[in-house]
Amino acid sequence: MEENLSVRAAKSEDLADVSAFLQPFIDQKFILPRTSLEIELLLRHAFVAENSSRIIGFAAVEIYSKKLAEIQCLAVSADFRRKGVGKELVNRCVARAKDEKVREVMAITATEQLFQECGFDFALPGQKRAVFLQTEES
């Protein structure tokens, strides 16, 4: 990651700035819409990437149980992609899950390359696979 970029744990005071940062990604359907309350809850296990105190990246890990967590809301400003920001955000989320003693971390993504570079794969040992059913059209 570049020298002038930093990644830190999110704080509750980041709510408005994170919501504003995520909105264009939501508008473009890169990430799912989230209410302010949902984002506020995600901040507990979230990370913010900054450049000169401006948010340029965000990711959170939602912990469902000691067995499973999910990386959510991964977003990086276009000008800062391919500079290690996304990878650092994913690694921080995985580290938080490990700290919380969660056994498995998943990510649902349309672009799997970054996650594969961080050690994710399409199946877990023993050939576990995720299957989905869409109940509503998007």
**69-78 tens-digit pLDDT:** 999 999 999 9
CB 10 within 8 A of CB 47: yes
Residues above pLDDT 70, as percent of the chain = 93
Fold of 5-117: Aminopeptidase (3.40.630)
Q: Coil, strand, or helix at residue 55? A: strand
Interatomic CA distance for residues 132 and 138, integer angstroms: 14
Over residues 15-41, mean pLDDT: 95
> What type of residue sits at position 96?
R
Distances (CA, A) of 96 to 5, 13, 102: 20, 20, 9
Residues 1 and 57: beta-carbon distance below 8 Å: no
pLDDT for the residue 120: 87
Angstrom distance (rounded) from CA 95 to CA 26: 26
- Which pLDDT score is estimated for 125? 66
What token pair was written down for 25?
């990604």
Joined together, the tokens standing for residue 49 give 């990437």
Contacts of 33 (CB under 8 A, 6+ apart): 26
pLDDT digits (tens, 9 = 90+) for 122-136: 876 666 677 776 787
2: confidence class by pLDDT, cuts 50, 70, 90: low
Tokens representing residue 55 in the block: 């948010």
**Mean pLDDT of the chain, nearest integer:** 90
